[in-house]
Structure 1
Amino acid sequence: MRNFILRRLLATIPMMLLASMLIFFIFALTPGDFIDGNITLTAERAAELKALYGLDQPLWLRYGRWLAQLLRGDLGYSLQYQTPVSTLLNHYIWNSFLLAMVAMVFYWAIALIVGVISAMRPHSWFDHIVTVLIFAAMSFPTFFLCLLLIKWFAVDLHWLPVGGMQRTGSDAEGWEWVVEVAAHLALPVLALVMLQAGSLTRYFRASMLEVVRMDFIRTARAKGLREGRVILRHALRNALLPIITLLGFELPALFSGALITEKIFNWPGAGHIHIDSLAARDYPVLMGFTLFLALLAIWGNLLADVLYAWADPRIRLR
């Protein structure tokens, strides 16, 4: 197992290098930048600023300098916010992590429970109702679903706040802070769960239906094992194997998919500043956030490989 993990760790090094090259050259070759988009600058001042930030140098030299900065933990300097990108992302990224992780825990738990029950009762009234609800939730555009939730729960019923992370001017601490943040977190988490849980539920259902038809499940039942033990200990563990592969893509996909949700609910996360930086063409911020998503995908796949090897020992022997 240790050698397997070591090989996977070494394989991430060229992947991270390739990801950094792709991200840099895609943004560097994109026409225009923050300075070009500022119409208040004279041509002389724009040329002076490009020389100051090194934007007039050859691409290979700029990439080498950017890569050297990355190895020192420096993501560059935001031209829009006039602050280091690492400081800017560190200020917002943990709020995005909070939203993403809470939503991920909820929709994985819901998808697991509902998917298993649907697979145990295929074509029942429960299975048909779940299918209708899943496709209904998935058919809503993100922005429309978010606005609909705001209208129902915040405007009409006054149960939850419209947006943000805390009340304006709030100085809550301790459990009062936790309760206040949880109330503001409810609507964006509900939106993400409704959008993400449907497809994952279908994956769980399809995987469980395939496993429960296998010979070893019939053998376990023939030996007189309780149905709960057959499902939880034998069927579910094997059904989780193909689902583990999805885990590597879940967190980066959730981060990128939450951009619109964070903007609509005014959640102070990295997605909020990502959209603003995209409009201002602040490429250092965009490169830093995109690199963060790429690293999440790489490390998520590494985690999925380790979990897969733990669940299926045959993987370590290949």
Structure 2
Amino acid sequence: MRNFIVRRLVQTLPMLLLASLLIFMLFAKTPGDFIDGNITLTAARAAELKAIYGLDQPLLVRYWHWLIQLLQGNLGFSLQYQIPVSQLLNQYIWNSFLLAFVSLILYWGIGLTIGVLSALKPNSLFDHLVNIIVFAAMSFPTFFLCLLLIKWFAIDLHWLPVGGMTDTGSDARGWQWVMQVAVHLILPMLALVMLQSGSLTRYFRASMIDVLRMDFIRTARAKGLRERTVIFKHALRNALLPIITLLGFELPGLFSGAIITEKVFNWPGAGHIHVDSLAARDYPVLMGFTLFLAVLTILGNLLADILYAWADPRIRVRS
């Protein structure tokens, strides 16, 4: 197991280097930047600023300088916010993590529970109702669902706030602040759960149905084992193996999946500043955030490989 993990760690190093090169070249070759988009600057001042920030140097030289800074933990300097990118992300990334982590726990729990129940009663009334609800929730565009939730619960019923993370002008502390954040969290969390739980439900249902048809399940039942033991100890454990692959995409999904939701609900997260930086062509912020997501994707796939090897010893033997 240790050799398997070491091999996977070594394989991630060239992937990280290649990802950094692709990300840098993608944004570096994009026409225009924050300085070009500022129409108030004279040509001389724009040229001076590009020289200060090193934007007038050759691409490979700029990439090398950026890579050296990355190795030192420096993601660059935001031209729009005039602070280091790492400091900017640190201010907002934890708000995104809070929203996405709570949503993740809920929609994985819902997807697992409903998916297993549907698989145990295929083609039943419950299964058909679940399919209708799942496809209905998945068919809504993200921005439309968010606006619909705002209209129903914030404008029509006045149950929940329209957006933000706390009340406007609030200086609450302690438990009062926690309660404000919890109330403001409900609508964006509900939107993410509705959008994500449907696909997970389908995955769990399909995987569970395939496992329940296998010979070892019939053998377990023929041996007289209780149905609960057959389902939860034998069937569910094997049904979760294909789902491990999805975990590799959950880490970057914690931060990238809520970009539109954060913008609509004015949630002060990394996705919110990502959209603003995109409009302002603040490429250092975009490169830093995209590289952060790339690192999470690689780490997520590494975690999925390790979990596969732990759950199924045949994986690490063949590898």
Question: TM-score under structure 1 normalisation?
Answer: 0.98
Find the counterpart in structure 2 of residue 277 from structure 1: 277
1:105-138 deviation line (CA, Å, top 9, x unaligned): 1100000000000000000000000000011111
2:92 counterpart of 1:102: no
Find the counterpart in structure 1 of residue 148 from structure 2: 148
Distance 1:101 1:296 in 2: 14
Distance 1:186 1:228 in 2: 34
Find the counterpart in structure 2 of residue 4 from structure 1: 4
Give, in angstroms, the shift of residue 314 of structure 1: 1.3
* Equivalent position SS for 1:251: helix
Find the counterpart in structure 2 of residue 194 from structure 1: 194
Find the counterpart in structure 1 of residue 253 from structure 2: 253
2:242 counterpart of 1:242: yes
Distance 1:181 1:200 in 2: 27
Q: CA RMSD in A?
A: 0.9
Find the counterpart in structure 2 of residue 286 from structure 1: 286
Distance 1:203 1:89 in 2: 33
Q: Is the 1:107–1:196 contact (alpha carbons within 8 Å) kept by the matching residues of 2?
A: yes
* Equivalent position SS for 1:225: coil
Distance 2:211 2:244 in 1: 15
2:224 counterpart of 1:224: yes
Gaps of 5+ in 2: none
Give, in angstroms, the shift of residue 174 of structure 1: 2.7
Find the counterpart in structure 1 of residue 169 from structure 2: 169
1:236-291 deviation line (CA, Å, top 9, x unaligned): 01000000001101231342221110000000000000000000100000000000
Distance 2:232 2:107 in 1: 19
Name the aligned partner's letter for residue 250 of structure 2. Answer: E
Distance 2:9 2:178 in 1: 37
Name the aligned partner's letter for residue 19 of structure 1. Answer: A
Structure 1 segments of 4+ aligned residues over 6 angstroms from their partners:
none
Name the aligned partner's letter for residue 69 of structure 2. Answer: Q
Find the counterpart in structure 2 of residue 125 from structure 1: 125
Distance 2:226 2:158 in 1: 47
Distance 2:173 2:80 in 1: 32
Distance 2:75 2:231 in 1: 48
Q: Is the 2:100–2:255 contact (alpha carbons within 8 Å) kept by the matching residues of 1?
A: yes
Distance 1:280 1:135 in 2: 36
Q: Is the 1:28–1:59 contact (alpha carbons within 8 Å) kept by the matching residues of 2?
A: yes
Name the aligned partner's letter for residue 268 of structure 1. Answer: P
Find the counterpart in structure 1 of residue 21 from structure 2: 21
Name the aligned partner's letter for residue 253 of structure 2. Answer: A
How many equivalent pairs are there? 318
Find the counterpart in structure 2 of residue 68 from structure 1: 68
Distance 1:171 1:230 in 2: 54
Gaps of 5+ in 1: none
Find the counterpart in structure 2 of residue 212 from structure 1: 212
Find the counterpart in structure 2 of residue 45 from structure 1: 45
Q: Is the 1:100–1:251 contact (alpha carbons within 8 Å) kept by the matching residues of 2?
A: no
1:53-89 deviation line (CA, Å, top 9, x unaligned): 0000000000000000000000000001111000000
Distance 2:130 2:175 in 1: 36
Q: Is the 2:35–2:49 contact (alpha carbons within 8 Å) kept by the matching residues of 1?
A: yes
Find the counterpart in structure 2 of residue 266 from structure 1: 266
Distance 1:131 1:247 in 2: 23
Distance 1:95 1:231 in 2: 38
Name the aligned partner's letter for residue 209 of structure 1. Answer: I
Q: Is the 1:75–1:284 contact (alpha carbons within 8 Å) kept by the matching residues of 2?
A: yes
Find the counterpart in structure 2 of residue 88 from structure 1: 88
Q: Is the 2:145–2:191 contact (alpha carbons within 8 Å) kept by the matching residues of 1?
A: yes
Distance 1:71 1:307 in 2: 28
* Equivalent position SS for 2:4: helix
Q: Is the 2:101–2:254 contact (alpha carbons within 8 Å) kept by the matching residues of 1?
A: no
